């Protein structure tokens, strides 16, 4: 998995000495209409799982908050956990990227310290808190401490008043899967050892910071399924990317999917290692089809990310969406989005399961977004594309012995959502000086468009390795057949460095977001960093962040809107509607609204789902690099929109869980 590589992180320091004051200042506040009465009719709905349901649509049928009254939203309650680290001590930096769930009249969420909180969803008052005790305090390089969510399961076979009849499952940075009583927060004593299962069983020895879990588990048919993050580009024999399922009651291992190719001749394994080193990991969110008994997993790269020749075929399931049978963990099908991936274009987002009349002849489908802005619509039962996917020629490699594919798959319905080229004439700059600097860089490095492979002279990567889209994924309005996705547009420079030259480099010479990757076991290391002008701004033209709506029936982009401003990264008066790098996802509702934060500026926004117009925003205390969710639990109650705002590597860390609703007096 790749952490976000922010390309505006140096704007503050680069812009201060410029003394430029002539830029137009664009306002970001929307005029709020006067409060209106809340209609108490309409649906109620909980939010029982990450993405709203096992299907991961990021959609809610709630419509109490709509385009007419969204301007009256106000903060109803907030919760502060206190779990914050700026990374200056022994504890790595935190980022609050969690999406809460509300499965049973209680709201549950987790923090970067892996504490789990249960709150009253109407008031935000604490009902209980569980602290697993943090052991793995320091993570590798720029990785931040995140827990993106928890899972809920109700044991229908248990007595109604039995302890742990309802359970909350959380997977931790200490590589543990923990089961808690949903009513009390106490560990379930019948699960594993005192409520805990070690996720290190069967793995070769590895530092604590090289393997751990950040995404929520998924529960289906009495099994808890979980993957893990493996740190990028360190070595060929990185920890296995095995996906495992555990019995939801006992914690016993039900099955393990070791993502090796069919007929693979296993390499020698260290003592105690049951799973193959170097296989693709599954760090992002999972989804499931209970009717068909399938779990859908988005896979990362085989190790290392930027070199294919040394993988010995282990990238068979890499950069793919894979359907696993919940009964035995065996693949029913897989679809590969990138062949022999050497760009770190691993599949970062939860597959979204849909069934919409007029889309793919109404067949059950899977929508998988990728970092390249490629959206693949697949048949849920077979994995075959619902619309044509073309294998198109791509640039060839020039590294002796490297293994690249001469073609890559390109979707046609919809066509790619991200630009595929960044030519010298496209160079952006605030002045002729920095524009000329960007043009020179685009001419100097190898630059043949998307899928230009890493090279010894340095290659332009556009889309960058962080996207395009990333783990925020998509949301789908199944009523109108619309898909919403946010993406960043920033380029990178990737350079391969021969082993002897790499070993002579000083690691301190790379200051994040510039990075050095050892890729031990390969013939070279690598350097990677954002493509910035001499003034510290992206060399590609704005917008640097966009929100798009895709009509799934026609395959056309219905609208594309600028997402984010330069505020909170550039000093005043350099606040303008540039769009911003963004990490987090969208929430779509039947109120014809799309809610999103995600950006480097501190706002939660609402867009008109039909026109793409930004019709509401609110200033929040930290950047909201998480995905909003919503619920309304009683026919006489209010609809709440909840967002975790807790910063990222590009911004101040925080701990604010924020709930917005229409005001009580408007009822």
Residue 143 CA to residue 464 CA, distance in Å, equals: 18
Do the beta carbons of residue 257 and residue 331 sit within 8 Å?
Answer: yes
Residue 601: closest CA among 79, 27, 15, 149: 27
Token pair, residue 227, equals 């993957």
Residue 117 CA to residue 289 CA, distance in Å, equals: 28
Give the max Cα distance, the chain: 73
Residue 387 CA to residue 472 CA, distance in Å, equals: 24
Do the beta carbons of residue 540 and residue 491 sit within 8 Å?
Answer: yes
Do the beta carbons of residue 97 and residue 173 sit within 8 Å?
Answer: no
Residue 232 CA to residue 140 CA, distance in Å, equals: 10
Q: What is the dihedral of CA 298, 303, 304, 306, to 10 degrees?
A: -40
Residue 154's φ and ψ, nearest 5 degrees, are: -110, 125
Residue 234: closest CA among 528, 512, 455, 525: 525
Do the beta carbons of residue 421 and residue 449 sit within 8 Å?
Answer: yes
Catalytic positions: 344
Within 429-584, where are the H helices? 432-444, 499-503
Token pair, residue 549, equals 């709506």
Inter-CA distances, 356 with 350, 447, 482, 594, Å: 19, 40, 10, 19
Residue 606: closest CA among 594, 618, 597, 598: 594
* Residue 112 DSSP SS3: coil
DSSP 96: -
Inter-CA distances, 286 with 81, 218, 298, 532, 606, Å: 26, 7, 7, 34, 26
Number of other CB atoms surrounding residue 390 within 10 Å? 12
Task: Find the radius of gyration of the CA atoms of the chain.
Answer: 24
Using DSSP bridges, classify how beta strands 586-589 and 59-60 pair: parallel, antiparallel or unpaired.
parallel
Residue 306: closest CA among 514, 526, 458, 502: 526
Number of other CB atoms surrounding residue 306 within 10 Å? 23
Inter-CA distances, 194 with 132, 167, 197, 250, 514, Å: 12, 14, 9, 10, 43
């Amino acid at each position: 998995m790749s952490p976000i590589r922010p390309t505006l992180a140096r704007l503050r320091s680069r812009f201060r000495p410029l003394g430029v004051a002539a830029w137009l200042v664009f306002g970001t506040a929307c005029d709020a209409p006067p409060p209106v009465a809340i209609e108490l009719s309409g649906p109620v709905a909980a939010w029982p799982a990450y993405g709203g349901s096992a299907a991961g649509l990021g959609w809610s049928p709630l419509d109490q908050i709509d385009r007419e009254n969204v301007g009256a939203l106000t903060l109803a309650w907030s919760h502060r956990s206190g779990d914050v680290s700026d990374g200056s001590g022994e504890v790595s930096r935190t980022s609050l990227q969690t999406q809460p769930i509300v499965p049973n009249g209680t709201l549950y969420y987790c923090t970067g310290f892996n504490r789990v909180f249960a709150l009253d969803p109407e008031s935000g008052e604490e009902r209980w808190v569980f602290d697993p005790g943090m052991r793995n305090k320091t993570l590798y390089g720029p990785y931040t401490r995140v827990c993106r969510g928890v899972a809920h399961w109700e044991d229908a076979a248990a007595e109604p008043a039995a302890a742990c009849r309802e359970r909350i499952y959380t997977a931790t940075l200490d590589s543990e899967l923990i089961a808690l009583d949903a009513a009390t927060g106490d560990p379930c004593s019948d699960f594993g050892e005192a409520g805990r299962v070690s996720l290190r069983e069967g793995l070769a020895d590895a530092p604590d910071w090289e393997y751990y879990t950040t995404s929520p588990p998924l529960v289906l048919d009495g099994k808890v399924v979980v993957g893990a993050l493996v740190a990028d580009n360190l070595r060929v024999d990185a920890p296995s990317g095995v996906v495992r399922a555990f019995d939801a009651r006992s914690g016993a291992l039900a099955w393990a999917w070791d993502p090796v190719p069919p007929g693979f001749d296993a390499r020698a394994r260290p003592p105690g290692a049951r799973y193959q080193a170097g296989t693709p990991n599954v760090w992002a969110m999972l989804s499931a089809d209970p009717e068909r008994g399938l779990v859908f997993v988005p896979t990362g790269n085989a190790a290392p990310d930027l070199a294919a020749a040394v993988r010995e075929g282990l990238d068979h399931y890499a950069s793919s969406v894979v359907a696993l049978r919940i009964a035995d963990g065996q693949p029913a099908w897989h679809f590969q989005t990138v062949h022999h991936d050497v760009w770190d274009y691993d599949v970062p987002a939860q597959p979204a399961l849909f069934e919409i009349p007029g889309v793919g002849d109404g067949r059950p489908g899977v929508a998988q977004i990728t970092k390249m802005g490629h959206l693949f619509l697949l048949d849920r039962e077979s994995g075959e594309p619902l619309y044509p996917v073309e294998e198109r020629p791509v640039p060839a490699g020039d590294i002796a012995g490297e293994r690249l594919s001469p073609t890559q798959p390109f979707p046609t319905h919809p066509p790619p959502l991200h630009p595929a080229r960044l030519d010298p004439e496209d160079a952006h700059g605030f002045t002729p000086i920095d524009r000329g600097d960007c043009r020179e860089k685009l001419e100097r490095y190898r630059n043949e468009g998307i899928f230009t492979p890493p090279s010894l002279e340095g290659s332009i990567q556009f889309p960058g390795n962080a996207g395009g889209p990333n783990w925020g994924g998509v949301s789908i309005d199944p009523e109108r057949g619309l898909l919403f996705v946010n993406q960043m547009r920033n380029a990178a420079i990737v350079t391969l460095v021969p082993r002897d030259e790499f070993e002579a480099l000083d690691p301190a010479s790379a200051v994040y977001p510039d990075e050095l990757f050892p890729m031990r076991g390969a013939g070279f290391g690598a350097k990677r960093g954002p493509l910035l002008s001499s003034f510290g701004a992206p060399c590609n033209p704005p917008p640097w962040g966009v929100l798009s709506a895709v009509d799934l029936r026609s395959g056309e982009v219905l609208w594309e809107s600028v997402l984010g401003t330069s505020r909170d990264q550039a000093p005043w008066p350099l606040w303008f509607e540039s769009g911003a790098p963004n990490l987090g996802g969208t929430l779509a509702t039947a109120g014809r609204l799309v809610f999103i934060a995600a950006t480097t500026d501190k706002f939660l926004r609402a867009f008109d789902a039909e026109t793409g117009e930004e019709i509401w925003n609110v200033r929040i205390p930290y950047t909201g690099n998480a995905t909003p969710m919503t619920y309304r639990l009683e026919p006489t109650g209010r609809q709440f929109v909840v967002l975790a705002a807790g910063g990222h590597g590009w911004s101040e860390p925080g701990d604010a869980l924020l709930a917005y609703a229409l005001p009580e007096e408007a009822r």
